[in-house]
């Protein structure tokens, strides 16, 4: 008789409903892709590619992280590949849809911030977007990107410092 409490017995693999995975994560993945690319069409393409890769790799997903974390990792990797193919500095982030600005918020300031964020180096931009716009903690960003928490914090700090310089006239 096999002892079911034996730690060497792997747990039953979890099954995922792909439709549910897509439904519950598509907006967040699209937002991330959009903020990384600054372009609606590229963001749609990357989002679609994220879910295609997830579909192909779902059987190999080991469940060592949340499925959302795994999807973000795929999106970050695809965004990095996309960046290498594009002339990243020429992309305008003025197209990014934002919630309606409160009355006190000047649209010129919003555009200036978008432009400054868009001009950050990719790794700094990725960390800044995930922290400020998506609300991830440094530890979560490190897991998603496969980097150390220290390097994530350093990139975030560098991004903030560059934004302070770029936006000094607005602050």
Q: What is the DSSP string of 87-108?
A: -GGG---TT---PPPPTTS-HH
- In whole angstroms, give the CA distance from residue 86 to residue 37: 9
pLDDT of residue 88: 40
- In whole angstroms, give the CA distance from residue 54 to residue 101: 35
Interval 83-121: pLDDT, tens: 766 644 444 545 545 544 454 455 788 888 888 998 999
pLDDT of residue 109: 83
Q: Tell whether pTM > 0.85.
A: no
Residue 79: pLDDT band with limits 50, 70, 90: confident
Place of tokens 């792909």: 18
According to CATH, the topology of domain 18-166 is: Butyryl-CoA Dehydrogenase, subunit A; domain 3 (1.20.140)
Place of tokens 């990243």: 88
pLDDT of residue 50: 93
Domain limits, the chain: 18-166
């Amino acid at each position: 008789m096999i002892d079911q409490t034996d730690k060497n017995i792997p747990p039953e693999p979890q099954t995922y409903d792909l439709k549910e995975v897509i439904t519950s994560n598509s907006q967040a993945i699209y937002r991330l892709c959009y903020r990384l690319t600054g372009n609606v069409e590229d963001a749609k393409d990357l989002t679609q590619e994220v879910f295609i890769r997830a579909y192909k790799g779902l059987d190999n997903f080991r469940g060592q992280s949340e499925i959302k974390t795994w999807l973000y990792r795929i999106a970050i990797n695809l965004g990095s590949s996309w960046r290498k193919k594009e002339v990243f500095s020429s992309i305008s982030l003025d197209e990014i849809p934002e919630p309606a600005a409160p009355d006190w918020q000047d649209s010129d300031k919003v555009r200036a911030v978008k432009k400054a964020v868009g001009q950050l180096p990719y790794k700094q931009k990725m960390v800044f977007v995930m922290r400020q716009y998506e609300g991830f903690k440094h530890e979560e960003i490190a897991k998603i990107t496969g980097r150390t928490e220290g390097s994530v914090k350093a990139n975030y700090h560098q991004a903030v410092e560059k934004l302070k310089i770029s936006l000094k006239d607005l602050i």
